[in-house]
């Protein structure tokens, strides 16, 4: 009787080993894929994990970057070099060094590429608003230029308060909530 129990336990262990372990443990070479993460050519396919975001950004007719020459920003929103970025890339094994480059673990303000006079890679200016009205609504200043190059902007533009409140809210970086709510099909409840 004792040997029957041992055989049953052995069969149970083998069954668990055959069905559960292969899906959770990698035993052989070639079962892992490593990506090049250096500055000379990041080969990480962002869309592998973020396919929904990539589809939203490039989808026909509603994506922020859905038409030439802005098709597929290629994850540039996470690889911008700007002096207003203060977190920077990791450096070494014991912490990070604040710098001027963003990295994949952070989101930057849309206005880094879309502010007046700083349209990186030819992205269009998204503004023409009243800078002082936006900052008054936000209750703080912003390092980005929402007004035109001559300093003028729509004093009574409906967007001023909306953008200001987005800046005041800490949900996303700077006014990204306002940008996303109007320029994508993400559902927004404005109360």
pLDDT by 10s per residue, the chain, length 191: 688 899 999 999 888 877 776 665 555 666 666 666 555 555 667 777 777 777 776 666 656 666 665 555 556 666 677 777 665 444 444 444 455 566 666 778 888 888 877 655 567 778 778 888 889 989 999 888 888 877 777 776 778 888 999 999 988 889 988 888 887 777 778 77
What are the start-end ranges of the H helices in 98-175?
111-114, 131-138, 159-168
* Rounded Cα distance, 89 and 79, in Å: 10
Q: Where are the domains of the chain?
A: 45-73, 75-108, 109-191
CA atoms within 13 A on the CB side of 139: 5
pTM, 2 dp: 0.61
> Which of helix, strand or coil describes residue 101?
strand
Question: What pLDDT score was predicted for residue 40?
Answer: 56
Question: What pLDDT score was predicted for residue 9?
Answer: 92
Question: What pLDDT score was predicted for residue 10?
Answer: 92
């Amino acid at each position: 009787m004792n040997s029957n129990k041992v055989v049953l336990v052995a069969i149970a262990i083998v069954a668990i080993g055959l069905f559960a372990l292969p899906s959770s443990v990698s035993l052989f070479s070639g079962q892992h894929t490593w990506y090049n993460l250096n500055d000379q050519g990041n080969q990480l396919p962002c869309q592998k994990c973020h396919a929904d975001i990539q589809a939203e950004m490039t989808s026909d007719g509603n994506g922020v970057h859905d038409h030439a020459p802005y098709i597929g920003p290629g994850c540039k929103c996470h690889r911008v070099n700007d002096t207003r970025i203060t977190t920077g890339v990791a450096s070494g094994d014991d912490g990070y060094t604040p710098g001027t480059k963003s990295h994949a673990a952070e989101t930057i303000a849309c206005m880094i590429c879309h502010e007046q006079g700083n349209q990186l890679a030819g992205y269009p200016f998204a503004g023409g608003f009243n800078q002082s009205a936006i900052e008054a609504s936000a209750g703080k200043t912003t390092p980005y230029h929402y007004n035109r190059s001559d300093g003028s902007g729509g004093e009574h533009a409906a967007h001023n308060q909306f953008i200001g409140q987005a800046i005041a809210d800490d949900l996303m970086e700077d006014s990204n909530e306002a940008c996303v709510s109007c320029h994508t099909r993400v559902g927004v409840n404005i109360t």
